[in-house]
């Protein structure tokens, strides 16, 4: 058996409403991890969502850094943590909220002593630019786990380069597979090197909304967590399941701070509780098992997962942008993002007129620009522009 950390007195305070944990924490026996010293202490988790209410009692001491990005991906100066919706506060509570009672029962995050680096990126204009800017910011935040609870239906390579760079820095990215049902997966959960998470309910069944092509499943139905303004509420979705898995990953990085991304990912996958009564494409390796994952990691088994290189992305254009260009007038301004394989300056110099607005996101090899249709059509012919996308394809947060 691997050597666990020394025992701690960390535990939930009793609740007048209920003596039971949130069913997910009870199902996963998270208190056993806490009792043996694993609470996520010393681990930073990246969190890109609708924001976070840092004044909530579960989260008042959990936010290490916060960034709000404007519609063009620039960081808002001196922004204080807040939530533009409620999804971000809920996932933050599941990740690292302090254990406490509520009127609805005991609540806690999986890793209640981890710290959160939270970026507000989803609601507002040009969300794809804002997500890229948030990922670029997280490269400098010393995180070990990224909970990226958003997605674009189907395959969209926009985030692939920057997520590969985060992985090379030792960050495990955890994403929900999406709430579009069977046979549908979302980007970036369907990227190589990203841990795709589906949901199960309290009967170990996959709910109809959970997508296909997952690596692992976790509780994602009727999970109680924080809401803005000090409230608590139950929410359902693969975002909630992804937050559970990301929290467990934080426990593993605390248990073995020198662990590689591949070692933690392998420990999570190879220790799963099998769900043989369910289709593999809906459950992957099975239900996450935190105690078994820690034991697997600490037993020092050789990792057979190879690091993922930054892959080449085939030259393509988002068809939604093409439709937008075809319907536009000559002087209309259209926002787009170009992924480039080389130096951006020669590409921009070859354009017969400059874009109205321009933003370079170096970690993603991305140029965000506002330009007329003829400028964007010229970019389509550039051999070093290998993906061109609209900025107005809204990632949906997976509530």
Closest CA to 339 of 370, 395, 382: 382
Residue 83 is given by DSSP the state: B
Catalytic pick among 47, 53, 54, 87? 87
Q: Where are the beta strands (DSSP E) in the chain?
A: 44-49, 63-68, 100-102, 105-107, 115-120, 145-148, 150-153, 172-176, 186-187, 195-200, 216-219, 223-227, 231-235, 316-317, 334-340, 357-361, 366-371, 385-390, 396-397
CA 277 from chain centre, in angstroms, equals: 28
Q: Is 49 a catalytic residue?
A: yes
- 6-45: b (≥16 Cβ within 10 Å) or e: eeeebebeebeebeebbbbbebbebbebbbbbbbbbebbb
Residue 69 is given by DSSP the state: B
**What tokens does 307 get?**
């690091």
Catalytic pick among 54, 212, 239, 390? 239
How is 309-331 classified by DSSP, letter by letter?
A: P-PPPPPEE-HHHHHHHHT--TT
Catalytic pick among 47, 49, 126, 389? 49
Q: Is 229 a catalytic residue?
A: no
CA angle 263, 267, 268 (to 5 degrees): 120
Q: Is 136 a catalytic residue?
A: no
388 vs 10, 226, 257, 324, 333, CA distance in Å?
A: 50, 38, 39, 12, 15
Residues 314 and 387: their CA atoms lie apart, in Å, by 8
Active-site positions read 49, 87, 239
């Amino acid at each position: 058996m691997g050597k666990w950390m020394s025992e701690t007195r960390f535990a939930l305070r009793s609740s007048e409403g209920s003596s039971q944990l949130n069913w997910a924490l009870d199902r996963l026996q998270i208190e056993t991890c806490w009792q043996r010293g694993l609470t996520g202490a010393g681990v930073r988790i990246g969190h890109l969502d609708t924001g976070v209410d840092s004044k909530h009692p579960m989260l008042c001491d959990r936010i290490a850094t916060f960034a709000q990005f404007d519609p063009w991906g620039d960081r808002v100066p001196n922004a204080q943590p807040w939530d533009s919706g409620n999804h971000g506060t809920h996932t933050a509570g599941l990740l690292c909220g302090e254990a406490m009672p509520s009127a609805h029962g005991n609540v806690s995050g999986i890793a209640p002593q981890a710290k959160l680096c939270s970026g507000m990126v989803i609601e507002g204009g040009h969300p794809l630019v804002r997500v890229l800017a948030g990922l670029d910011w997280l490269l400098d935040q010393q995180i070990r786990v990224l909970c990226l609870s958003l997605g674009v239906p189907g395959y969209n390579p926009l985030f692939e380069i920057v997520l590969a760079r985060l992985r090379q820095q030792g960050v495990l990215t955890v994403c929900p597979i999406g709430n579009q049902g069977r046979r549908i997966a979302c980007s970036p959960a369907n990227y190589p090197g990203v841990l795709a998470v589906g949901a199960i309910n309290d009967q170990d069944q996959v709910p109809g909304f959970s997508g296909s092509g997952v690596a692992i499943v976790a509780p994602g139905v009727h999970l109680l967590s924080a809401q803005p303004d000090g409230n608590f509420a139950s929410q359902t979705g693969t975002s909630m399941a992804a937050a559970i898995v990301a929290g467990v990953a934080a426990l593993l990085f605390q248990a073995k701070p020198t662990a590689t991304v591949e070692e933690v990912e392998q420990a999570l996958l190879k220790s799963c509780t099998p769900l043989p009564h369910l289709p593999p494409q809906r459950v992957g390796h099975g239900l996450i098992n935190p105690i078994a994952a820690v034991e697997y990691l600490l037993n020092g088994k050789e990792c057979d997962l190879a690091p993922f290189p930054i892959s080449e992305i085939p030259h393509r254009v988002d068809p939604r942008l093409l439709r937008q260009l075809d319907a536009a007038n000559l002087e209309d301004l259209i926002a787009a993002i170009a992924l480039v394989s080389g130096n951006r300056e020669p590409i921009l110099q070859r354009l017969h007129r400059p874009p109205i607005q321009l933003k370079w996101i170096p970690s993603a090899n991305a140029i965000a620009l506002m330009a007329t249709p003829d400028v964007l059509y010229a970019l389509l012919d550039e051999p070093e522009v290998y993906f061109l996308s609209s900025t107005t394809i809204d990632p949906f947060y997976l509530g």
